[in-house]
Amino acid sequence: MKVSGAEIVVESLKKEGVTHIFGYPGGVVLNLFDYLYDAKGIKLLLTRHEQGATHMADGYARSTGKVGVALVTSGPGATNTVTGIATAAMDSIPIVVLTGQVPTMLIGNDAFQEADIVGITRPCTKYNYLVKNIDDLADTIREAFHIASTGRPGPVLIDLPRDISAGMGNFNWPEKVQIRSYNPTVEGNRKMIEKAAEEIAKSKKPVIIAGGGVILSNASEDLRELAELTQIPVTTTLMGIGSFPSVHPLSLGMPGMHGTYYANMAIQESDLIVAIGMRFDDRVTGKISAFAPHATIVHIDIDPTSIRKNVHVDIPIVGDSKNVLTTLNQIVKAGQKTQWGEIRKAWLKQLDDWKELKPMCYRYSDTIIKPQFVIEKLYEATGGDAIITTEVGQNQMWAAQFFKFDKPRTFLSSGGLGTMGYGFPAAIGAQVAFPDKTVIDIAGDGSIQMNIQELATAVVYELPVKVAILNNRYLGMVRQWQELFFKERYSHSHLNTVPDFVKVAEAYSAVGLRAEKPSEVEPVIREALKTKKPVFMDFVIDWKEKVFPMVPAGAAIDQMMFDEEEPKKEARHKKLKAVK
Amino acid sequence: MRHTISVQVENKFGVLSRVAGLFSGRGYNIESISVGETLDPKISVMTIVTRGENQIVEQINKQLNKLIDVIKVQDLFDVDHVEREMVLIKIAPPQEQKAEVLRLAEIFRGRVVDSSPKTYTIEITGDEKKIEAFLELVKPMGVKEFVRSGKIAIAREKSKG
Ligand SMILES: Cc1ncc(C[n+]2csc(CCOP(=O)(O)OP(=O)(O)O)c2C)c(N)n1
Ligand SMILES: [Mg+2]
C-alpha cells in the first residue's frame, strides 16, 4: 500500500524514537506539517527562528544523549539553520535537520525559495542527503540517525523536495543499517592500551585531559574509576565539563586560555598526558610548540583525524572512550600491585601547592555586583542540581570557571564554534527534555539578543527556563581584548542601548527581575527559581570585570595573566571555597 | 613529498564535491584529480595527486577515510604501482619544423589525432616524466595549447614467490 511521503517521514522519525521536533513551517514542507497536525506520539514545537530550532535540537541532544530533530522550510528557512548545524558539527552533537526543498523538477532553476542547502552545508554536516525518490525516504532517515549518533557524532541534514513529501510511495522500515563505507572503530587496539597502562604505571607526573568525547560516549564513571584507581589528576576542557566532578580532590578544573593556574601548570610540568575524547583545540594548547614539553602523550579518540592533527602523540588509541577506558581499567586492575598513592604523592602535593598559591578567585564587592558572585549564588541556590547553558563571551568563561558540575550533560555550551545566541534556545531544548529540572542560561547582554525571540517559544510551551543575564552593557569579551591588547580603543564593543530586559520579559508574558546591588542577587535568584514561568534575571554587573587567568593568544599556557588591577588592600580578596 | 592516492568511493551524487571540498576546506593542495567508474558501476575510483609534509599527508589519508562515501583509501607512495597520464597538445609548428614534430611524436609513441593545414593535435600517454619531457621538447615549436588528463594509477600485482 502506498502512503504519503510526509507519512513516511514522520512515521520513520517515530520509529527512531523521536518525540519532539523543533520547527518552522513554509511552502514546501506544508505536507509534512499537515501530517504532523494530528499525528500521535510526536510533537512539533514551533520556534520563532530556524536558528533557534537547530540550537534547541542541539540542547535536547546534549542533555539527553538522544538525536535532536529540526524541521524547516526551503531557502531562507534552510539557510537559517546553518549556524546551528555548524555549532553542532564543531562539538560533535547528533542532530538531524530536515529541510524542505523546491520540487525536484525545479531544482537548479533558481526557483522561488530555492537554496542549495546540501551544497551549503556539505562542509558543516557529518553527512547530508537530497532525497530524489520517495521509496528511499525510510532508508535515508534510518541511515541519517545512524550516522548522526554513532562514531564521532554530528549533524546530518536531509533535504526533502516538495514532491517527495507530497507524493505517494512505499514505506518499508529497514530493521538494520549497513553502510559499507562507514565503520567507525569503537574498540581500541589492545596493544596500545597495554602500552598506555605501562606509561601510567611509570609516570611520576601524569595528567588526564578529559574532553567532550567522554560525555558523548557516557564514559564518566569509567574516567572516574581510572583517575581514582591510579591517582591521576583530571582537567576537563570546556566541552568536558561535567565528565568529572569539579569538587573532586583530583579535579584541576579547566585548562587553556581561561583555565586554572594549576591545570595549566600541571600540563606544562607533566611527564604523561592521557588525553581522552578531546582534540587539542588551540584554546586548550596555547602555543603548540611550547605545549607540555616534557610529556609523553597518550591520545584516545574515536576520530582518527583528531589524533596527530596538531600535537605529537606517542600512543594513539582510536576508539570509543567508553570501550577504551573499560579495557584500560581492566588492564590496570589486573596488573601488578602498584602503590599508586605512594608514587603520586609528590606530584599531588605539588598540585595542592599550586592550588594554594593561585586558587580560582575574584574580588568581591559590597557595592557592585561581580559576575562571579552571581554564578556562585546560582550554584548555592540550585545546590548544583541544574542544567546550565551558556552564551559566548565572558559569561561563558565565568560560568565554566565558577559553577561546579558533578554530572555529565549538565553544562551545555558552544565550545568549538563559539556561537553567541546558542545558550537560550539550547536551554529551551534541554527543558523540553527535562520539564521538571532547573535549566538556566548564563547569558551576556549581547548574546541574549541574538535569539531573544525564542522567549515566545518558552512562554507558549510553558517551559520555565531561567536566563541569568550578566549585563555589563558591553560585548565584554571583545572589550576585554581591546583593553588588554588594543590600547583601550573600544571600537564598537559598547552596546550603547541595552534593552530593558525586565520589560522585554514582560512584553512576552514572561517574568523579568533585576538586581543592581550584591544584596539583591540572592533574592532575585530565589524568586526566579520559585517562578513556574520563564524568567529573565537582569544582573547589572561591574562592566570593568575581566576573565582571569588569561593566556594571551599565541602564548604558552603557563604564560598566564592575573588580575592585578585594583590594589589588594582596597578590596576584600575573596577565595572560593577551595577546590581541593 | 608528493603522493598519489587512490580512493574508492560510492558512485553517489555529490561525492566529487565532498572530496574536492575536503581539500579546499582544509587548505590541502591538489595537483590533479581524475575520476572514473570501476568494474562495479556503483563504485568510482579517484586518483588524487597531492603534496605535503608527512604529517599533512597522513591527515589527508585519514580525512579521506573519514568521508562517509569513501570505501577505501590507498596511498601509493610506498606501493609499487603503474601511473599513466594523457596529454593532448595542439601545436602549430613553422613549416620547417613540421617533420621534426612528427618525428618526436613517433619517438614518444604519440599519435596525431587531428590535423589542420596549420596544426597537429598529438596524443601522448605515459608517466609524468615522459609527458614533461615531450612538452619540454616541443614547447619552442609553437605549442598553442595542451590539456592533461591528470594521473591515474593502479597498484602492481605482486608476482608470486
Ligand atoms: C555569533 C557571534 N558573533 C560574534 C562573536 C564574537 N564574540 C565573542 S564574545 C563576544 C561578546 C559577547 O558579548 P556578551 O554576550 O554581552 O557577553 P560578555 O562577554 O559581555 O559576557 C563577541 C562579539 C561570536 N562569538 N558569535
Ligand atoms: Mg556583555
**Final residue before a domain boundary, out of B78, B109, B129:** B78
Taking the centre of ligand 2 as the mean of its atom positions, its distance from the CA of residue A446, in whole angstroms, is 5
How much is the pLDDT for A343?
94
User: Same domain, yes or no, for B24 and B50?
Assistant: yes
Q: How far is the CA of A51 from the centre of ligand 2 (A)?
A: 21
Regarding whether B148 and B113 lie in a shared domain, the answer is: yes
User: In chain A, which residues have their Cβ closer than 8 Å to the Cβ of B59?
Assistant: 305, 308-309
The CATH number of whichever domain residue B126 belongs to comes to: 3.30.70.1150
Smallest CA–CA distance, residue B71 to chain A, in Å, is 4
Closest CA relative to residue A308, chosen from A267, A352, A270, A275: A275
- Report helix angle B54-66 to B15-26, nearest 10: 150
The number of CA neighbours under 13 Å toward the Cβ of A565 is 13
The owner of cell 598566564 is: A560
CATH number of the domain within which A417 lies: 3.40.50.970
| Euclidean distance between CA atoms A267 and A557, whole angstroms | 9
Within 10 angstroms of residue B113's Cβ, the number of other Cβ atoms is 11
Q: Is any Cβ of chain B less than 8 angstroms from the Cβ of A305?
A: yes
B36 in A contact zone (CB under 8 Å): no
CA distance A547 to A536: 23
Q: Is the CB of A541 under 6 A from ligand 1?
A: no
Distance (Å, whole) CA A95 – CA A61: 7
Residue in this structure with the C-alpha cell 613529498, named with its chain if needed: B1
A248: which DSSP letter? S
Q: What is this structure's pTM?
A: 0.95
Tell me, yes or no, whether B69 and B34 share the same domain.
yes
The answer to whether residue A302 is domain-embedded is yes
Q: Which residue has the higher pLDDT, A51 or A580?
A: A51
% of chain B residues with pLDDT over 90 = 96
For residue A83, the ligand 1 atom closest to its alpha carbon is 1
Which single residue is written with the C-alpha cell 588525553? Answer: A275
Q: Quick one: B84 exposed, middle or buried, by C-beta within 10 A (0-12, 13-18, 19+)?
A: middle
Give the separation between CA B3 and CA A568, rounded to whole angstroms. 60
Domain with A478, as residue range(s), is 360-548
Residues B9 and B71 in one domain: yes
> Cα-Cα-Cα-Cα dihedral of A138, A140, A145, A150, to 10°?
130
Is A247 among the domain residues? yes
Residue A499 scores a pLDDT above 50? yes
Confidence of residue A1 (pLDDT cuts 50, 70, 90): confident
- Residue of chain A nearest B10, judged by CA positions: A181
Q: Are residues B74 and B90 in the same domain?
A: no
Question: A549: cis peptide before it, omega within 30°?
Answer: yes
Predicted local distance difference test score (pLDDT) of residue B158: 83
Kindly state the helix (H) or strand (E) to which residue A315 belongs, with its residue range.
Answer: strand A315-318
**Res A364: pLDDT:** 94
Q: Tell me whether residue A540 is in a domain.
A: yes
User: Cβ(A538)–Cβ(A503) under 8 Å?
Assistant: no
Q: What is the pLDDT of residues A508-558, one digit of tens each?
A: 999 999 999 999 999 999 999 999 999 999 999 999 999 999 999 999 999
Q: Is the domain of A119 the same as that of A52?
A: yes
**Could you tell me if B96 and B115 lie in one domain?**
yes
Beta bridge partners of B45: B8, B36
pLDDT single digits (tens) A254-287: 999 999 999 999 999 999 999 999 999 999 999 9
Give the model's confidence band at A337: pLDDT under 50 very low, under 70 low, under 90 confident, else very high.
Answer: confident
Nearest one of A410, A439, A443 to A63, comparing CA atoms:
A410
Cell 598559591 identifies what position? A357
Number of domains composing chain B: 2
Whole-number CA gyration radius for chain A:
24
Give chain B positions within 8 Å (CB) of A147.
Answer: 68
* Residue B33, domain extent: 2-78
Is the Cβ of B27 closer than 8 Å to some Cβ of chain A?
Answer: no
Ligand nearest the Cα atom of residue A472: 2
Look at chain A and count its residues.
580
Contact A122 B66 (CB under 8 A): no
- Are A302 and A286 in contact by the 8 Å Cβ rule? The answer is no
Are A403 and A388 in contact, with CB atoms under 8 Å apart?
A: yes
Q: What is the per-residue pLDDT for A564?
A: 75
CA-CA distance, B32 to B4, in Å (whole number)? 9
Specify if B160 maps to a domain: no
Write the residue with the smallest CA distance to atom 9 of ligand 1: A393
Q: Are B73 and B100 members of one domain? A: no
**pLDDT tens digit sequence for A69-106:** 999 999 999 999 999 999 999 999 999 999 999 999 99
CATH classification at residue A334: 3.40.50.1220
Q: Write out pLDDT tens, residues B139-156.
A: 999 999 999 999 999 999
Residues A38 and A166 in one domain: yes
DSSP string for A445-512: TTGGGGSGGGHHHHHHTT---EEEEEE-SB-HHHHHHHHHHSTT--TT-B-S----HHHHHHHTTSEE
- Asked if the model's pLDDT at residue B159 lies above 80, the reply is no
User: Averaged over B87-115, what is the pLDDT?
Assistant: 97
> Cβ separation of A119 and B17 shorter than 8 Å?
yes
To the nearest 10°, the Cα dihedral for A249, A252, A254, A257?
A: 160
Contact between residue A149 and residue A18 where contact means Cβ atoms under 8 Å apart: no
pLDDT, position A565: 57
Instruction: Tell me what the mean pLDDT of segment A453-466 comes to.
Output: 98
**Is the separation of the CB atoms in B89 and B103 below 8 Å?**
no
Burial code (b: 16+ CB inside 10 Å, e: under 16) for A381-414 equals: bbebebbbbbbbbbbbbbbbbbbbbeebbbbbbb
- Contact between B44 and B11 (Cβ < 8 Å): yes
Task: Report how far apart, in Å, the C-alpha atoms of A303 and of each of A24, A183, A373, B5, B91 are.
Answer: 33, 11, 39, 21, 51
Q: Which of B78, B95, B116 is the last residue of a domain?
A: B78
**Is there a single domain that holds both residue A211 and residue A130?**
no
With both helix axes pointing from N to C terminus, report the angle between A340-357 and A220-230 in degrees, rounded to the nearest 10.
Answer: 100
Same domain, B137 and B87: yes
Final residue belonging to a domain, choices B63, B78, B93 = B78
Q: Kindly state whether residue A371 falls inside one of the protein's structural domains.
A: yes
The three cell numbers of residue B15 are 561525492
Residue A306: closest CA among chain B residues belongs to which residue? B59
Percentage of chain B surpassing pLDDT 70?
A: 99
Per-residue pLDDT of A136-183, as tens digits, reads 999 999 999 999 999 999 999 999 999 999 999 999 999 999 999 999
Which residues in A lie closer than 8 A to residue B62 (C-beta atoms)?
304-305
Protein residue whose Cα sits closest to atom 3 of ligand 1: A420
